[in-house]
């Protein structure tokens, strides 16, 4: 049941948003083994004139940047899986953006099961019910 929030520098682009959302669901299913039917993806575009790296406005350079956060339940993925996910995200975004800035970030949020959930139920509750 991951929630994925992706910010991308540059003008809003519905086609790119659809491609990124599809990629986010696919990578999260393939690498982190999460159910795509329970995956929510939100994409925001931030004008490049308002995105800075090392004090430089991205609008002044050739590359775009992104900030990708995915919330998952703690202890459901290994360090190796999360490392593979970060690498796969950057490779995919580099392709989709035709060159992503190196200072683009991915953050896997390991949320405690008792403090995270959907539909008014925690993941801990779901775990206990499954026992």
Domain edges within the chain: 3-130
Q: Which residues contact 83 (CB under 8 A, 6 or more apart)?
A: none
Q: pTM of this prediction?
A: 0.94
Nearest Cα neighbor of 37 from 25, 22, 20, 27 is: 25
Specify the residue for token string 């299913």.
Answer: 29
Specify the residue for token string 């999260």.
Answer: 28
Q: Which tens digits make up the pLDDT trace of 26-74?
A: 999 999 999 999 999 999 999 999 998 888 888 777 789 999 999 999 9
Q: How far apart (Å, rounded) are the C-alpha atoms in residues 69 and 121?
A: 22
Q: How far apart (Å, rounded) are the C-alpha atoms in residues 56 and 32?
A: 34
Homologous superfamily (CATH) of 3-130 is Macrophage Migration Inhibitory Factor (3.30.429.10)
Q: Which tens digits make up the pLDDT trace of 85-126?
A: 999 999 999 999 999 999 999 999 999 999 999 999 999 999
Per-residue model confidence (pLDDT) at position 1: 84
Tally of CB atoms within 10 A around 43: 21
């Amino acid at each position: 049941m991951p929630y994925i929030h992706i910010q991308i520098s540059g003008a809003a682009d519905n086609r790119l948003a659809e491609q990124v959302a599809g990629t986010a669901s696919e990578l999260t299913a393939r690498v982190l083994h999460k159910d795509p039917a329970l995956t929510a993806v939100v994409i925001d575009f931030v004008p490049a004139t308002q995105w800075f790296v090392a004090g430089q406005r991205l609008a002044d350079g050739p590359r775009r940047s992104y900030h990708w956060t995915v919330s998952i339940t703690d202890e459901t993925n290994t360090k190796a899986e999360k490392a593979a996910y970060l690498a796969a995200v950057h490779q995919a975004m580099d392709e989709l953006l035709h060159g992503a800035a190196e200072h683009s970030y991915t953050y896997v949020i390991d949320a405690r099961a008792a403090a995270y959930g959907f539909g008014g139920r925690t993941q801990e509750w779901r775990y206990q019910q499954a026992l």
